[in-house]
Amino acid sequence: MDCPRLLKGVREEYWPHIVQEDFQLHFFLDFDFLMAQVANIEEKNILCVFRNPTRQPQAPSFANFHFLGYDLVERETSVSALTNCGGFPDVFDNSELSDVGLMPTLDRAVQVQETLRTTYPGDPHANCDVWAIFRLAG
């Protein structure tokens, strides 16, 4: 839910170029293929994401990606637990979020993820993954 999808549906020719696990069919693995598919779309955000990184990921060297921060995304609906769930003031303060609504460090994002799970075990918003998010400049 970070941005609306640029490509609607999954075409037959996408299958060799996309992630095929956990119903994540809108994540492309082949940057050049993706860029060819969206070449005629003027306004777009191209994100590079890492799910549940164990250390700070590095920006890909093949393009000009800039690190934005970490989101905690609900597994079931892909909603941000940081910005789309009404807040969890007993777990984190909104002032901790960057100007784009993300956690600045992996350590804090993981701490919030773990605290959400233990504090709200029955809340679906607390069942979330940490996503490192980079945005293509340009």
Residue 25: pLDDT band by 50, 70, 90 thresholds?
Answer: very low
61 and 92 together in one domain:
yes
Q: How far is CA 98 from the centre of its chain?
A: 15
Cα(44)–Cα(42) distance, integer angstroms: 6
pLDDT band at 102 (very low <50, low <70, confident <90, very high): very high
Residue numbers of the domain that contains 86:
49-136
Q: Beta-carbon neighbour count of residue 137 at 10 Å? A: 9
Helix (H) or strand (E) holding 16: none
Position 113 confidence tier, pLDDT thresholds 50, 70, 90: very high
Give the number of other CB atoms < 10 A from CB of residue 129: 15
Report if residue 3 sits inside a domain: no
**64 with 115, same domain?**
yes
Distance CA 53, CA 32 (A): 24
DSSP 31-70: HHHHHHHTTT-SS---EEEEES-SSPPPPPTTTTEEEEEE
Q: Please indicate, yes or no, whether residues 64 and 18 belong to a single structural domain of this protein.
A: no
Instruction: Show the tokens assigned to 21.
Output: 């696990």
Kindly state whether residue 76 falls inside one of the protein's structural domains. Answer: yes
Q: Are residues 71 and 92 in the same domain?
A: yes
* Residue 81 · residue 128 · CB < 8 Å: yes
Q: Quote the percentage of the chain above a pLDDT of 90.
A: 48
Is residue 132 scored above 90 in pLDDT? yes
Residues 59 and 30 in one domain: no
Taking 90 as the threshold, does the pLDDT of residue 41 lie above it? no
- In this prediction the pTM is 0.84
Q: List pLDDT tens digits, range 48-95.
A: 999 999 999 999 888 999 999 999 999 887 889 998 876 788 999 999
Which band of pLDDT confidence, cut at 50, 70 and 90, is reported for residue 42? Answer: confident
Neighbours of 71 (CB within 10 A): 25
| Tokens (6 digits) for 134 | 């980079």
Number of domains, the chain? 2
Q: Tens digit of pLDDT for each residue in 26-39?
A: 677 788 888 888 88
